[in-house]
Amino acid sequence: MYSLFAESLLKVVILSSLLGTATAQTYSTCNPLLQSGCPADPALSKSVAVDFTSGPSSDFSAYGAPTYDSNGAAFTVAKPGDSPSISSKWYIMFGHVDYVVKAAPGTGIVSAATLQSDCLDEIDWEWLGGDDTQAQSNYFGKGITVTGYNRGGFHGAENNHDVFRTYSIDWTADQIVWSIDGTTVRVLTQDQAASGQYPQTPMYVKLGAWAGGDPSNAQGTIEWAGGVTDYSAGPFTMYVKSVHATDYSTGSQYSYSGTSGTWESIVSDGGHINSNGNGTPVSSVQAPAVTSHVSSSAPLAFGNDDNTESVTATRTGWPWSGTASATASTVVSASISELTIPTPFLVICASVIVALGLDFS
């Protein structure tokens, strides 16, 4: 009975965190921690190098009509609602990814290169069009934002609108390392992550650009993005020359066993999870201090329609999520048109915890 109640309460906490006015990546066609019968994730299970200067890749699905030229994949924002992106058709379960990116200029324009999972884990790189001197790193676990938007940091990246740089993520069971042109700029160990929110489930690659400064967005989003976007000064284009990815696990597909969301609960079909080890350990003392921290009010979402015409919403931040009502219904089930969790119910849950002296730590 205790374990059943604990599992139910965890789902309530996750769902309630998705109902805030600003969320992390809260779009998933099937969240394995909240739904049964979710399809397994196709595994990369190797290394792959994708050169977008040669045109579109069969490894990626495109949304919002990105184009291709000698600079690579081009993600152009020219008018309200533009949010072109591409997503890999495979997942990695721990691994290394190099993104060769030239960020889009333009006040309020946001360029993004991320790793995202079905249960809303994510590891991020992003760039603001009004600042060509810095890049932002961030992470989230299980879509939970109730602890605040205090996990991001800015790092020096001069002329990121004008020159290509290699932005890397090395992700293991023990740590996440962000680097720029081979130089480590941030290290996050599992122990340093917010409680229970270290990303550790199969992730796919997603890249794209959007207008965080669109006048229709929430004021917090516009401020975080650097100001209101003037579309008449555009178009604004992010370029991705190439992506190189290595999967640190093997097998044909990855699936979730249970609803804990831990890496130990992930099952490989025909291979092994974390079979390639934990990479090369990097001490956090080797990483320089971040240039500055992301504002605690920074919203985190992206775009206008989350790769599906069935969901439309005014965006509240980055990466790729909509308003609470739209994303909550999408996360739980495509057949549920609306989902609300009454505040009194959450209060009752909290009261039960206190009354019974339950400890979920």
> For residues 323 and 327, what is the distance between their CA atoms, to the nearest angstrom?
6
Residue 223 catalytic? no
Catalytic residue among 7, 126, 264, 338: 126
> For residues 238 and 82, what is the distance between their CA atoms, to the nearest angstrom?
12
Residue 158 catalytic? no
> For residues 150 and 146, what is the distance between their CA atoms, to the nearest angstrom?
11
Task: Read off the tokens for 221.
Answer: 């989003």
Asked if 164 contacts 70 with a C-beta cutoff of 8 angstroms, the reply is no
End-to-end CA distance of the chain: 17
Catalytic residue among 7, 122, 158, 264: 122
> For residues 198 and 147, what is the distance between their CA atoms, to the nearest angstrom?
13
Task: Read off the tokens for 275.
Answer: 């079979």
User: Which of 50, 46, 66 lies closest to 58 in space, CA to CA?
Assistant: 50
Task: Read off the tokens for 301.
Answer: 């979402």
User: Which of 121, 225, 124, 203 lies closest to 167 in space, CA to CA?
Assistant: 124
Element (DSSP H or E) covering residue 7: helix 2-17
Indicate which residues carry an active-site annotation. Answer: 122, 126
